[in-house]
Amino acid sequence: MTAIIIAVIVVTVIGIICAVVLSVASKVMYVPVDERVTQLSEVLPGANCGGCGFPGCDGYAAALVEDPDTPLTLCAAGGAACAQAMGRILGKEAGEMVEKRAFVQCMGDCSKTANKMEYVGIDSCKAAKVMFGGAGNCTFGCMGLGDCVAACPNGGVEIKDGVARINYTICNGCGGCAKVCPNGVISILPATIPVLVACSNKDKGPAARKKCTAACIGCGMCMRKCPQGAIKVENNIARVDYEKCDGCGTCASVCPAKCIL
């Protein structure tokens, strides 16, 4: 009985000592938090998508307070209203915010391409990529297993006929889908862009067409016909310079593969 009583006393004393140490440490090591960080976190949407380039909304809020040069317009999920609200908290102008959207640069659906093998494994594009570049004939295109669907915080992505498609009434351009796409076929671009090359295949023309009938063949017709000189063929695929493009539509009309939208 005496041994039990001694053990209880020892444990109690240790507990009291630990409590005192923790109490003192909490006061000595206390780091004051700028109330503006809390206010900014409350204004931000809480999506924690990482589209701003910081680890979540709290990380972005802290960066805004710590570095005055951090732009207020990095939160695509919050939009212009969020940027303006944060500007009022910090006492500065938010600046102009360019609305952005996700664009899938692939049209290789079930009617235009096929699989080279049957994939049996985890329903993940990242996992399938390890298996010879995925099941599809085109190793550059959308793999259609839905990593982007799972990454979208707003439910703005769906897989239709084997290809990711964006719901533009929902998409806010946060970039979550683009970050997880192993083939990089999803780009985050200004919502006002007039032209999109919906292909990512870098093979030469004949090889690309064998894999997908919607593939860019790198013929350069769009580049030669563009009156603004806004298109170049790089790595066998057309690329648009949006600073020069005026949306005339010439490139789309002359594209033999009809992969320019």
- 105 and 175 both lie in a single domain: yes
Of 156, 148, 143, 151, nearest to 106 (Cα)? Answer: 143
pLDDT in tens, 132-174: 899 999 999 999 999 999 999 889 999 999 999 999 999 989 8
Do 241 and 255 lie in one domain? The reply is yes
Q: What are phi and psi of 77, to 5 degrees?
A: -65, -35
Instruction: Report how far Cα 211 is from the mean position of its chain's Cα atoms.
Output: 27
Q: What pLDDT is attached to residue 106? A: 96
3-state secondary structure labels for all residues of 167-204: CCCCCCCCCHHHHHCCCCCEEEEECCCCCCECCCCCCC
* Same domain (yes/no): 86, 118: no
Name which of 46, 39, 47 is nearest 65 in CA terms: 39
Residue 18: predicted pLDDT: 86
Query: Which residues pair with residue 113 across a beta bridge?
Result: 212
CATH number of domain containing 82: 1.10.15
| Other C-beta atoms lying within 10 Å of the C-beta of residue 89 | 18
* Spatial contact of 137 and 209, defined as CB atoms under 8 Å apart: no
Q: Do the domain assignments include residue 126?
A: yes
User: What's the domain count of the chain?
Assistant: 3
Average pLDDT over every residue of 215-226: 96
Q: What is the DSSP string of 236-258?
A: TEEEE-TTT-----HHHHH-TT-
pLDDT value at residue 89: 92
Give the list of residues 6+ apart from residue 133 with CB closer than 8 angstroms, or none. Answer: 139
Together in a domain, 200 and 130: no
Residues 72 and 119 in one domain: no
| Angle, CA 248 vertex, CA 247 and CA 251 arms, to 5° | 95
What is 222-236 written as a DSSP string?
A: HHHH-TT--EEEETT
Same domain, 199 and 188: no
- pLDDT per position as a tens digit, 68-114: 899 999 998 888 889 999 999 999 888 888 889 999 999 999 999 99
Residues 243 and 261: their CA atoms lie apart, in Å, by 17
Q: Which domain holds residue 86?
A: 36-90
